């Protein structure tokens, strides 16, 4: 295994999917994921979604950097976070709420299970 990994989305085919049907609230969002690293509980790559809204429940730690678009992350406590290009955030285990993609959103992510 190389000890340096450049994250080049054009070098791999994305996985395509969407939220589980029981989590979907609105729309028909399509997710594309370029997962570059998946080793020892750590995943890193790029994620993109078309508009829609679904329930989320985080059991892992995630760092995100929004590259483009607009999403709204709403906690079950009523807190609202608008995420736009340039924003960086950490979503901690235990977060519950909704993720709404208002404008197709693309993010870099690092997830630690």
Q: Which helix (H) or strand (E) holds 50?
A: none
Instruction: Look up the CATH number of the domain holding residue 62.
Output: 2.60.120.10
pLDDT score for 61 = 98
Comparing CA positions, the residue from 73, 79, 77, 80 lying closest to residue 100 is 73
The residue-averaged pLDDT of 68-82 equals 98
Number of independent structural domains in the chain: 1
Q: Summarize pLDDT for 81-102 with one digit per residue, the tens.
A: 999 999 999 999 999 999 999 9
d(CA 75, CA 62): 15
pLDDT score for 2 = 85
Residue 41, pLDDT > 80, answer yes
Assigned domain for 8 exists? no
The residue-averaged pLDDT of 20-45 equals 97
Assigned domain for 14 exists? no
Residue 10, pLDDT > 90, answer yes
Residue 1, pLDDT > 80, answer no
The residue-averaged pLDDT of 27-51 equals 97
Assigned domain for 27 exists? no
CB 110 within 8 A of CB 42: yes
Structure tokens, 109: 């992510």
Assigned domain for 26 exists? no
pLDDT score for 74 = 98
Assigned domain for 75 exists? yes
């Amino acid at each position: 295994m190389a000890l340096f990994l450049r994250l080049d989305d054009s070098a791999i085919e994305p996985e395509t999917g969407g939220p589980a049907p029981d989590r979907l609230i609105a729309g028909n969002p399509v997710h594309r994921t370029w997962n570059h690293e998946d080793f020892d509980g750590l995943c890193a790559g790029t994620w993109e979604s078309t508009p829609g809204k679904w329930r989320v429940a985080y059991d892992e730690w995630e760092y995100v950097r929004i590259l483009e678009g607009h999403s709204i992350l709403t906690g079950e406590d009523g807190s609202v976070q608008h995420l736009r290009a340039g924003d960086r955030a950490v979503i901690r285990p235990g977060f519950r709420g909704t993720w709404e993609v208002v404008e197709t959103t693309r993010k870099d992510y690092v997830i630690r299970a």
